[in-house]
Amino acid sequence: MNYSNLTWRHFNNPACAGVLAGAAVRRGAAGSRGQGIWVQFDVQIGSLRQQSIVEAVRFLAYACPHVIAVADWVAQKAVGGSTEPVLPEGVPALRERFEVPIEKLGRLLIVEDAWIAALSSPYRRGSA
């Protein structure tokens, strides 16, 4: 499979891979390793001028290069943005940006599901 330069850049050097912990962190995941794709986002919520914002994001993924690249891009772009459970860019635009084949569209929907789950989840209390 041919991957775009953007996909390779985020896949080979995922700046936001990892986990976050703490009382202000929300976690959400989707997919399963058995299905060949699993994505988890940890999102740290803060406030700026009395509005909730995304302060930091980390992700873990068991997936193809496209999914890992998209998850890394989403994690980077979300910082400083809204805590609404909506991707920074819609799935069709992400598919185009990363040149993801149409047959992999379902994998991008799993990224979206994990993102929505993270921002819809309650804070993880007592995490360290």
Rounded to an integer, the average pLDDT of 115-126 is 79
Name the one residue in this structure whose structure tokens are 């991008």: 108
128 or 23, higher pLDDT: 23
Residue 123 pLDDT grade (very low, low, confident, very high; cuts 50, 70, 90):
low
Q: How many CB atoms lie under 10 A from the CB of residue 47?
A: 11
Handedness of CA 48, 30, 121, 127 (dihedral sign): negative
**Closest-CA residue to 29 (of 71, 70, 92, 83):** 71
Residue 48 pLDDT grade (very low, low, confident, very high; cuts 50, 70, 90):
confident
Helix (H/G/I), strand (E/B), else coil: 80? coil
Which ranges in 40-104 belong to alpha helices (H)? Answer: 65-78, 91-97
Q: What is the pTM of this model?
A: 0.92
Residue 1 pLDDT grade (very low, low, confident, very high; cuts 50, 70, 90):
confident
The yes-or-no verdict on residue 116 having pLDDT over 90 is yes
The yes-or-no verdict on residue 127 having pLDDT over 50 is no
The confidence score (pLDDT) of residue 125 equals 46
- Token output for 23: 């009382």
Task: Write down the architecture of domain 5-119 according to CATH.
Answer: Alpha-Beta Complex (3.90)
